[in-house]
Amino acid sequence: MLMYLHTDPKRTNEKIGGPNRFTRGNYSRDLRNARFTLRFRGDIDLQGSQMVLLAQSQTSRTTANFVLTGQPFKITPEWTEQTVVLTADPAQWTCLGARESKKHQYGCDDITTVLKDVNVDLILVLFPLNVVPVKPVAEPHRLRAGQDYPDEPSYEVWQKYLPKGLIQVDTVKIEYPQSQG
């Protein structure tokens, strides 16, 4: 996780995260076809991952987490401005689902439902990550890497397989389609 924006004022803690212009401004959480623009630069070894936007929403079925894998941001050493469109095309998105212990809370839903009310947050993430435990773990997908792995200090994961470097974000902008105002 590189950075996040809570989209629901009930989830925002400004004592920790500072002022949240999105929730203070009561902006629409209907992000269907919204344009999400970043001005950023970076020097990073991605280790096979990509920088993508994650949209998270509490729906009537679950808390759904989708990453916009069809429109990754290209990280360059020079400042660049890049835009992705939060299209409801399911081919553009990957649902993350949940690890075993969180299936009661997280899952998948229709991407249109999620984008119609992104009522949890937007997150910039590196995805996918190659998380490799230092010591063998029988069921790594049932556990939370770095926390639930058994036998201290084997909580550790091999850092050499994870991205390393720096990403700097200067500006984040959300533009709504004309039809949504």
Q: Could you tell me the residue ranges of all domains in the chain?
A: 3-180
3-state secondary structure of 6: strand
Tens-digit pLDDT string for the chain (181 aa)? 999 999 998 887 777 777 788 999 999 999 999 999 999 999 999 999 999 999 999 999 999 999 999 999 999 999 999 999 999 999 999 999 988 888 999 999 999 999 999 999 999 999 999 988 887 777 777 777 767 665 555 567 889 999 999 999 999 999 999 865 4
**Residue 169 to residues 2, 79, 82, 155: CA-CA distances in angstroms?**
10, 9, 11, 31
Q: What's the CA gap between 5 and 11, in Å, rounded?
A: 10
For 22, the token pair is 């999105």
Q: What is the pTM of this model?
A: 0.90
Sign of CA dihedral 28, 103, 150, 48: negative
